[in-house]
Structures are given as C-alpha cells and as structure tokens.
Structure 1
Amino acid sequence: MPLSEHEQRMLEQMERALYAEDPKFASALEGSGLRTYTRRRVYQAVAGFLVGIALLMAGMVAQQIWISVVGFLVMLGCAVLAVTGWRKAPKPGEQPAGAPHGRRQVRPKRSMMDRIEQRWQRRRDEQGGQ
C-alpha cells in the first residue's frame, strides 16, 4: 500500500532530521555495509561462473581436457559462493550473523525505528514548547 502525501512528507522530514543530526549514520544506512558487500560478492561469483563456462568451452574447442576440468571447477566454486553469499545476506534491520553474542545487555535493545520515532517526538515537543 503506497504512503499518503502526509506520510511521505513526514518521512522526508524524518530523513532530513536524521541527516542533520547524524550524517555519518544516515549515509551508512543508505546501502553501504554488509548487504552491499554480500551483493557485490554474489555478482563477482556470477562473473566467475561465466568465466568458468568460457574455460569449459575453450577446453572443449582446444581438445584440452584439463582446461575444461578447471573451467568446471571454477563454475562449481563460484556457484557455491553465489548461493552461500545470497543466503547469508542479512535482511534489513537484522543483526549480522558474525555479531558477538557474548556480552549481556542491561537494557533491551530498541529498534532503529523506535529510536528515530523517539527523537522525532522529542524534537516536536521541544519545538512546541518554544
């Protein structure tokens, strides 16, 4: 369901406020990080798979079995990398798989949207009191 104009304006205001408050964090949310790295790794694996196909075909044309075997192994390795990389990609808002779990948190961790809403509400309260 698409957002209403009022909701879109509020979202734009929240984005501007986030950029004004913490531009480093806001730019980190735009797509850099683990998801982009994983996506890039999958694309590289697909390119490697295509190189493997080319080696396989070249080995068949040149009648060199070892080139075909190397091409097949490259294809197999890249296919495994692509599939495992795609499955390991974290969903938006999800904690990465390699994150440390050993420390115990004193207070429950709030979601990013909760923190943004809290900051937004605090800012509205401050502006309303002036």
Structure 2
Amino acid sequence: MALSERERQMLEEMEEAIRAEDPRFASQMNGAKRIVGTDRRRVVVGVVGALAGLGLVLLGINTSLWVGVAGFVLIVAAVALALAPTRGSSGIGVVTDDGSVKKKPARRPKGTTTGRGATTARAKGPKQGTFMERMEQRWEERRREGHG
C-alpha cells in the first residue's frame, strides 16, 4: 500500500529528526540492510559444510560417537567460515557529525613509521598501569561525567 504525500512528508521529517538527534543510530539503521563483508561463495561453502556436518552427526548416532563429534566440529567450522567477514572489508568505521560512516584506515604494525618519521609505538606513548587499572580509571571517569 502506497503512502500518501502527507504521510511521506511526515516520514521524511521523522527521519531527519532522528538523524539530527542520534546520527550513530541513523547510520546503523542505514547500514543494517546488508551484512557487511559477506561473500556468497563463503556462505555457500559454509552451508554445504554445515549440511555435511549434520549428515556426519546423524551417521554418528548410528555408528560411533567420534563420527558425530567430527560432524559437530564441521558444523561449527562451516558456520564460522560463512559468517566471518572477508579480510578486505572491515565494517568498522567512525560516525561523523552528519551521520555518515567514515571507514577507519587499516592499522599499522607496531614499530612502523608514521608520516612524520616517528614510530607508532613511540607516537602512542607508554601504557600506564595494568589492564584492570586502566579499566577502573575509565569507569571512574565515566561515573564522574555522568553524575556531575
């Protein structure tokens, strides 16, 4: 059923309000139409592998426990292969003020030089404290920002 002109206008106004209020949410909703980084061939191989694994599980019920276990492992591996993103396409990005998503550049290995001649390890600076101490510091900062 088609929308009337007034309904379309109201829908567009609501979309604009959502984009203005929460650009990250709006960009996520725009990107939710397709799975990022999937490859049809990998999905087909994953489905075929999962079906073969299911066959092994059913065969393992009648024969040996180890055949069933191998079938289960094959199912898990096939599903992981099918759902894993491809190497070249990273779905990670930064949401800009206008709501669009800007892709993050690929990370450089530690010790490689940046454009200014400094290495990334030195440019980033030393880490302060253990992992848990840094997490506690972040938690305290968030609590202070949220409550006053």
- TM-score of the two chains, using structure 2 as the length reference: 0.33
Which has the larger helix fraction?
1
Q: Larger % of strand: which? A: 2
